[in-house]
Amino acid sequence: MKVQIKITSLALALVLLSCGNRDKFLFRNPAVAMEKRVNDLVSRLTLDEKVAQMASSAPEIKRLGITAFDWQNECLHGVGKLAEYKVTVYPQPIGMAATWDAASIYKMADFTAEEGRAVNRDASSKGKFGSYYGLTYWAPNINIFRDPRWGRGHETFGEDPYLTGVLGKSFVLGLQGDDPTYLKASACAKHFAVHSGPESLRHEFNTEVSTYDLWDTYLPAFRDLIVDAKATGVMCAYNAYGGRPCCGNDLLMMDILRNKWKFTGYVTSDCGAIDDFYKYHKTHSDTITAAVDAVLHGTDLDCLRDTVFKTLTKAVRTGLIDEKNIDIAVKRLFTIRFKLGLFDPASKVKYANIPLSVLESPEHKAHALKLAQQSIVLLKNESNTLPLKKNLKKVAVVGPNAASKMTLLGNYYGYPSEIVSVLDGIKAKLSPQTEVFYEKMTDYIALDSFIVENHNNELTYNGKSGFRMEYYDNQNFSGNAIISQENETDIIYRGETRFINGINSIAFSKRITTYFKPTETSILTLNIDTDKRFRLFVNDSVCIDALRGKAKAKGIYTRQFVKGKEYKIVVETTFKGRDGYFSFNIGKIKTPSLQEQAAKVKDADVIIFVGGISPSLEGEQNGVNCPGFEDGDRTTIGLPRIQTELMKELKKTGKPVVFVMMTGSAIAVEWENENIPAIVNAWYGGQSAGTAVADVLFGDYNPAGRLPVTFYKNDKDLPQFTNYAMEGRTYRYFKGEPLYPFGYGLSYTTFNYKNLVVRDNVSTSDSLVVSVQVSNTGQKDGEEVVQLYLTHLNGFSFLPLKSLKGFKRIFLKAGETKEVQLTVDNKNLATFNQLGQLIVKAGSVRVSVGGSQPGGKSKATGNCVEKDIEIKGLGNQIQF
């Protein structure tokens, strides 16, 4: 008994000492070297505590005064996910890539980190440490957009490794800040590596590419961000490479990332990727072997709520892994938290006191508009159709994206206070004397059926106008509703997790209940417009059931409603953490013909058709299965046929038609290119997209965006989607004639290039310095993107046809000339061999400089000047 009392007293004393002296722990002392502080903290943890910290939702450690920490956050194009904070939303990354402006992307990332810091400071002060409040952002996505059918390609910076690397570095440098001690925020390069669809196979797919393609295409941007920009995080991909899951891959994770590139930051799995080891890849027998192998290959964090990493405690105790391997991972994780200043007084951390007032600051909103303007690519402008005059009598604005606001936000978005649609932007641009006619006319893939004689105002619950809405923290409507609201009149779904208090799961459900007592007997239609799964009940009978399976029913149910009889209407919907839309109407439905639609605008001075596709159709694995789309990917690159058919009818009116296209990927618009006089590609342009489009259409901004991807003519131009070999892909290896080439974009002015100066001979150890004179030869001020390409004339037969190796976006007044200098360093003068070695070889190289890539349609944006030079000397291998 005496011994027991002594032990108990000692334990109590230690606990009291710990609680009373938390601030005296070595790891709490900012004057001590960060590495020593991390080592001290980890040495105080039990094995169970260490393993618990290796989950994306890391719990608090009360005895050491360490708060909970959630690693999962997004800032793809502005602070993402949290509806409770109004933040600035910039164009989707594919649109930002079309700016070809590294400085603008740096500023965007800097502003994003500023807003993220403000959110984190406010949330932390309220004890909120859950998902999307933290400072470890899982962005940017720098996978190479090798195939336009990949649904997540719009999250990337396009198809070119050099452009992706330059823009990605700017993103990382802007986000992480310039303080020598503390990070403004932590960036994470994803998805490592060789990852770009198909979405439906991403958990089980094994990629096989040559060593050359691996090093020439799939790794350079990662190397740029990890080695040069010092990104502090990496996310390993779902798929396997060479028969081994990426998160447990010897070559990728150990040989390249940790050993060759000396990466010391943290690696997180993509969410659920470690489970894929044994569930889908079948390379491991169970959870414990998967967890051990992932950690031994340098994966420090498992993104899942019910993580397989919890088996690591048993793995250590049974000798499957040494605890020192757990220590290595946990130290990497805590090092990031220390670098974010989370263990230091706010007074010492440069970024810790940023106030909420920075959210949507005028400077941030102005930059969102600037990026949207810079991103717009003018694809065609026959007979100077654009810019339009502002003194028109009637302007028709039609199409599925004309009034859409959610489309503009892309995916992984935040919530701005105001979103300007194209319709909004055009209305604001014109005088009140100009009539602006709007009608959707068609949906993305089918004619628009719309409700007339709307009876929504007759829907009630408990005798009052509106609906009852119940939200469940699961997808089965099980248990009690997390929240129940009555007499709601707005049932439009506006986002995902945390769009309403209490919904903490990315998989949740919603039940809408209302009653309808018609004042006369008539045949009416219940129209549910959604991209989510749903089920419709009338008087407790199932009328439409589309909650399960891939195919979703149309949300149209027509029946007779008898005067004076009360009908109970229930709609159940399920959500799985993806962007989308939902709305409900009751009335008489009408589906006019294409000819009827076109006849409505035959008296307009100009018809602006705002079409394309939507991030609800192309995106991360989303279950969508409809013509042209499958589970987030596209099954064809063609514009949905119904939109082309409508534009054919609009053209028959004899009025000029302007096609404003919104998309995150290349769309084949062969008919439109031949028949529509003006085509503008506006991507998913963020909160100010509508203003930017109107600025371009009416000449208040001269477009200068350039394509970061190749626009092919049709599906026949594409290799098999699952084939990752680069032969025949992207401008670098495609030998056909594209519809619009990579780097292409028109202007309202013209440019001329002359006096290309470059040394005739350089050695294999030199950099290449190139200068050229660029003149604005038109009548309008404008921007030009100067592009430099190299072609190795007698190099390896497998080398690219041409490769971008330099660019600069410049502004020139009408009649102005500037000399532009570009430098190609030794690394970019080199080429990979089949062993993955980067070598500067002796031989002839063609230097091409112009407003687009050499050949094809580049003359439309200005001439291209070229010079052949000789590289002399012995082959010089470059460390890569």
Active site residues per annotation:
270, 618
CA angle 767/768/774 to nearest 5° reads: 145
Residue 594: helix, strand or coil by DSSP? helix
Q: Distance (Å, rounded) from C-alpha 305 to C-alpha 419? A: 33
Amino acid, res. 768: L
Q: Distance (Å, rounded) from C-alpha 652 to C-alpha 662? A: 23
- For residue 419, the tally of other CB atoms under 10 A from its CB is 20
The answer to whether residues 634 and 618 touch, using CB atoms and an 8 Å cutoff, is yes
**For residue 244, what are the contacts with CB-CB under 8 A and spacing of at least 6?**
250, 251, 283
**For residue 541, what are the contacts with CB-CB under 8 A and spacing of at least 6?**
none
CA angle 545/547/553 to nearest 5° reads: 50
Q: What is the 3-state secondary structure (H, E, C) of 383-449?
A: HHCCCCCCCCCEEEEECCCCCCCHHHHCCCCCECCCCCCHHHHHHHHCCCCCEEEEECCECCCCECC
* 367: its two tokens: 């930059």
The answer to whether residues 474 and 508 touch, using CB atoms and an 8 Å cutoff, is yes
The interaxial angle of helices 689-697 and 362-375, nearest 10 deg, is 50
**For residue 738, what are the contacts with CB-CB under 8 A and spacing of at least 6?**
710, 711, 712, 713, 717, 731, 856
Backbone angles phi, psi at 697, to 5 degrees: -60, -35
The answer to whether residues 853 and 800 touch, using CB atoms and an 8 Å cutoff, is no
CA angle 489/491/492 to nearest 5° reads: 130
- For residue 32, the tally of other CB atoms under 10 A from its CB is 12
- Helices (H) and strands (E) in the chain — how many of each? 20, 40
First to last CA, the chain: 66
Quick one: which of 637, 440, 475 has its CA closest to 548? 475
Quick one: which of 45, 123, 115, 39 has its CA closest to 77? 115
Residue whose structure tokens are 């006019």: 592
* 756: its two tokens: 């290309």
Quick one: which of 27, 164, 28 has its CA closest to 94? 164
Q: Distance (Å, rounded) from C-alpha 531 to C-alpha 143? A: 27
Q: Distance (Å, rounded) from C-alpha 67 to C-alpha 337? A: 11
The answer to whether residues 133 and 340 touch, using CB atoms and an 8 Å cutoff, is no
Under DSSP, the state recorded for 330 is H
Run of H or E residues at 487 = strand 483-488
Instruction: Tell me how far CA of residue 537 lies from CA of 175, 514, 540, 568, 677, in angstroms.
Output: 48, 11, 5, 8, 48
Instruction: Tell me how far CA of residue 117 lies from CA of 134, 170, 184, in angstroms.
Output: 8, 19, 7
